[in-house]
Amino acid sequence: MSPGRKLNLAFFQRPAIDLARDLIGTVLVRRLADRVLRARIVETEAYVGAHDKACHAYKGRTRRTEVMFGPAGRAYVYLIYGMYDMFNIVASTVDDPQAVLVRGAIPLDDWQIDLSGPGKLARGLAITRELNGCDLTGKELHLQSRPAGPPDILVTPRIGIDYAEEWKDSLLRFVDAAVGQRPGSRHGTKLKL
């Protein structure tokens, strides 16, 4: 894919683990009524299907998880801890509930804001549950391919899923190596791709 182009549906129709890795370095574009916010994605996590104990779809198909069972390239946005919206991108195909949590980004265009962490990222980009199910090749929110070449990427276990038993240590978190792990995340498990 040539640099800086809008990512199309085919980009999202892949396993979440591949999508999560390839989303690092891409640019998230949020169009609001009066301005456009852009940010480079630096941290993601893959939730790889109904067999993944950390994936919300593990509990089955419910009103909340319905979007994950639908087509790729849609937003899955849900509320956590009563106050934070989490922004996920649906991957794979219909009836295979995989998704990628977007956990961190760097603002572009001299726009100053802290987007490190999924709660802050969603808030900073004005991504709320109103966008649940929205088409990410559409107008209010879309992605652009990497402006530059592929970055070095670290792989670590996912954050905040200690309940997920044998899945809690799976290497499904991807971080731009130039940004590194942020404070509070687990150390000692970094791997170079």
Partner DNA sequence: GCGTCGATGGCA
Partner DNA sequence: GCCATCGACGCG
* Residues found near DNA in the complex (CB under 7 A): 45, 47, 54-56, 59-60, 62-65, 76, 78-84, 86, 88, 99, 101, 114, 116-121, 158-161, 163, 183
| Contact yes or no for 136/76 (Cβ under 8 A) | no
Residue 141, SS3 per DSSP: strand
Pairing of strands 27-31, 36-47: antiparallel
- Give the residue with the Cβ less far from DNA, 31 or 53: 53
Q: In the bound complex, what is the minimum distance in angstroms from residue 99's beta carbon to DNA?
A: 5
Q: In the bound complex, what is the minimum distance in angstroms from residue 46's beta carbon to DNA?
A: 9
Q: In the bound complex, what is the minimum distance in angstroms from residue 34's beta carbon to DNA?
A: 24
- Give the residue with the Cβ less far from DNA, 1 or 107: 107
Q: What are phi and psi of 94, to 5 degrees?
A: -55, 140
Query: HSE-up of 110 (CA within 13 Å, CB side)?
Result: 0
Q: What is the distance between the alpha carbons of residues 146 and 24, in angstroms, rounded to a whole number?
A: 8
- Give the residue with the Cβ less far from DNA, 22 or 45: 45
Q: In the bound complex, what is the minimum distance in angstroms from residue 149's beta carbon to DNA?
A: 28
